[in-house]
Amino acid sequence: MSEEFEIDTDDLERRMDGAISSLRTEFASLRTGRASAAMLEPVMVDAYGTKTPINQVGTVNVPEPRMVTVNVWDKSLVGKVEKAIRESGLGINPQLNGTIIMLPIPELNEERRRELTKVAAQYAESARVAVRNVRRDGMDQIKKAKADGMSEDDQKLWETEVQDLTDAFIGKVDQALETKQSEIMQV
């Protein structure tokens, strides 16, 4: 009597999707020369004794293609928000106007664009590693099922399915990287 062995490919796909989502979030924080509210997402403000995301202490807007504004709700936090932006490594010089902090986005020079494409490539490689780790977990499930009596034909079938899923997600990572790098290099 042969048992039916099932490998949870939905779980593997969900976890690989998580790697892609994480990659997109990291890409959104990379400055491309155009203003984007997402570029401030990694900035944390020391507010009320705790590190707080910038969008929880003020409203982030993009009124123009090369301008981001932060309208800080609590007047006492304006200095802390400005300091957090300066120290964030974004290379943006904040300008104060009451409780509104204006962030003019300067043009990127060629050298900075090349640096950003390298950073994007590092983010993409991390995503590829995450996808491969999920693949390894899937292959381990198949090996365990094989030890529990899965037939060799079923083993090959599942291994092919997990590999095809991995290849598809690696392709998505490569496509996202290519898109982001062309966006960064666009003058």
73 in Cβ contact with 58 (< 8 Å)? yes
The per-residue pLDDT for range 31-83, each reduced to its tens digit, is 666 777 888 887 889 988 899 999 899 999 998 888 999 999 999 999 999 99
pLDDT tens by residue, 79-128: 999 999 888 767 788 999 888 999 988 777 888 888 888 888 999 999 99
What is the reported pLDDT for 18? 94
Please report the pLDDT score of residue 7 as a whole number.
81
Read off the pLDDT band of 1 (50, 70, 90): very low
| Average pLDDT over all residues of the chain | 88
What is the predicted pLDDT for the residue at 4? 62
Predicted pLDDT at 2: 40
Higher pLDDT, 28 or 11: 11
**Per-residue model confidence (pLDDT) at position 42:** 79
At residue 148, the 3 state secondary structure works out as coil
The token pair at 12 is 């593997």
pLDDT value of position 173 = 96
Contacts with 150 (C-beta within 8 Å, 6 or more apart), sequence order: 3, 5, 142, 158
Full-model pTM: 0.69
How far is residue 172's CA from residue 163's CA, in Å, rounded to a whole number? 14
The domain segmentation of the chain, as residue ranges, is: 9-27+109-185, 34-104
> What confidence score (pLDDT) does residue 158 get?
92
CATH 1.10.132.20 fits 9-27+109-185, yes or no: yes
Token pair, residue 184, equals 């960064």
- Considering the domain 34-104 in this protein, what is its CATH number? 3.30.1360.40
Contact in structure between 68 and 39 (CB atoms under 8 Å): yes
CA 58/CA 164 separation, integer angstroms: 45
110 Cβ contact partners less than 8 Å away, ≥ 6 residues apart: none
- 44: burial class by Cβ within 10 Å (0-12, 13-18, 19+)? middle
C-alpha dihedral (49, 54, 57, 60), degrees to nearest 10: 170
Is residue 157 scored above 50 in pLDDT?
yes
